Amino acid sequence: MSSSIFKKQYINGKWEEASSDSVVKDYNPYTEAEITTIQSADASDVKKAYQAAESAQLDWEQTAPARKQTYLHNLLDLFERRKEEIIDWLVTESGSTKIKASVEYDICYEVIKEAHSLPTRMTGSILPSNTPGKENFVYRNPKGVIGIIGPWNFPLYLTMRSVAPAVATGNTVVIKPASDTPVTSGLLIASLFEEAGFPKGVVNVVVGRGSVIGDSVVTDPTPSTISFTGSTEVGSHIAQLAGKDIKDTALELGGNNAMVVLDDADVDKAVEAAVFGKYLHQGQICMAINRIIVDESVHDEFVKKFTEAAQQLKVGDPKQEDTLIGPLINNDQVKRVLEDVAKAKEEGATVMKTGKVEGNLLEPIVLSNVTNDMTIAQNEIFGPVAAIIKVKDEKAAIHVANATPYGLSGSVFTSDRWRGLEVAKKVHTGMIHVNDQSVNDEPHVAFGGEKHSGLGRFGGSWALDKFTTEKWISVQSKYREF
């Protein structure tokens, strides 16, 4: 696929120039070289995309389930044929290591497979009535047009997680990709759907900065639902805009995820899991471990072994097969993370391992003697910094884990899985994993957070519920007496 098309918008089945005079420049975060320049959309382009989606939606809704599944099967075939291209784009544009890009490719493939099952799962029901001669039918229908705002960290998957089930259930979509990854969170998706033969208008993409077109994507009267993955601050703004028009939202927002290491944990296994859950994609994952809460009886051993493991991680070119730590998405993120680390040192944290900086590369940093009231423990780090907190016992660990307005993911390590289950029940979070790290996602399982970490659930039947609505129609077999 020629990258020349990734300079345009994709609206109503056509690659076309946008209306704005401004541009979005797309950079490789490792080399900092420009990848492409895209003419930016404005509000009129957003309107045009929504009109195309609305015009296509009724025909798409009425397309037979088997026909929808054929298109989705074509999409899966394309994913396999274009696998190396997809992985290369993830490495080039989002700074993904080959390991992370492969993980993202695999989970994205699985979410399309799950979506493939949805057209024949659009079930309704017939319910009895207390009114003589009446039958109650409950139909499941698509919501119509869905607005999807994608993120830059897992750009392909976290956008496709909404696109695939929304389209599979008879909706049409307008995607606004992240400005840092306009290809992998939008234009590449459009090219895949186009090549798979989906009807024009089913998938549309408008590229522009959130400050320019973000509000238009939400406030346009056409979409019934807005799906957003990103920061809590932006998600709150989107929820307010959508709420004015009583639009539904699917919001997957920030996290302050805790890994709890109990006194009976296998420390070596806990360290191995913690290194993966903290440093995968340089910690730029909403599910990444933000705080490692360790029982005092195993704390010193854990800190020593974790620091040694972090020192072994290869940092560098994400195109190299054995690179484990690639670049942050841009230099602003590097500066922000370093400022957070400096603040933690001022507040009393101990730097067990410092991180050298080269361009957008930042080596893993390990902090001990962190307390939960420190800034580094209160905010989402979103970078390769591990904050380790020592606690007295299990009760204290649960208290610290819950002392945050966030509640996305987490983990518990213990040699007693039933103890782990009971602790997991007490942590206020949408997802938590016993004897595993916090970065888990399976497309058939409920995915989502509590509190400031979001609204709604993605995955399987939960995605089916989110992108469809139920309608009650009653029918009288004989005229009713009033």
pLDDT over threshold 70, residue 2: no
- The arrangement of secondary structure in 257-434, i.e. its CATH architecture, is 3-Layer(aba) Sandwich (3.40)
pLDDT of residue 170: 98
Q: What is the mean pLDDT of residues 255-262?
A: 98
Q: How confident is the model at residue 3 (pLDDT cuts 50, 70, 90)?
A: low
pLDDT of residue 242: 96
Q: Which two tokens stand for residue 385?
A: 């910094």
- Out of 252, 296, 470, 481, pick the active-site residue: 252
Distance from C-alpha of 44 to C-alpha of 42, rounded to nearest angstrom: 5
If one looks up domain 3-253 in CATH, what number appears? Answer: 3.40.605.10
Q: What is the mean pLDDT of residues 215-223?
A: 97
Q: Which two tokens stand for residue 86?
A: 């997809």
User: Considering the entire predicted model, what is its pTM?
Assistant: 0.96
* 75-102 per-residue burial string, b: 16 or more CB within 10 A, e: under 16: beebbeebeeebbebbbbbbbbbbbbbe
Q: Which amino acid is at 388?
A: I
Distance from C-alpha of 41 to C-alpha of 231, rounded to nearest angstrom: 22
User: What are the boundaries of each domain within the chain?
Assistant: 3-253, 257-434
Chain segment 125-175, per-residue pLDDT in tens: 999 999 999 999 999 999 999 999 999 999 999 999 999 999 999 999 999
347 is catalytic: no
pLDDT of residue 372: 98
Percent of the chain with pLDDT over 90: 98
The two beta strands, 365-370 and 9-11, are: unpaired
pLDDT of residue 1: 44
Is 251 exposed, middle or buried (CB count within 10 Å of its CB: 0-12, 13-18, 19+)?
A: buried
Residues 6+ apart with CB under 8 A from 339: none
pLDDT over threshold 70, residue 431: yes
Q: How confident is the model at residue 4 (pLDDT cuts 50, 70, 90)?
A: confident
Distance from C-alpha of 178 to C-alpha of 300, rounded to nearest angstrom: 41
Q: What is the mean pLDDT of residues 421-437?
A: 98
Distance from C-alpha of 372 to C-alpha of 378, rounded to nearest angstrom: 7
Give bridge partners of residue 471 from the DSSP assignment: 139
pLDDT over threshold 70, residue 475: yes
Chain segment 366-392, per-residue pLDDT in tens: 999 999 999 999 999 999 999 999 999
pLDDT of residue 5: 82
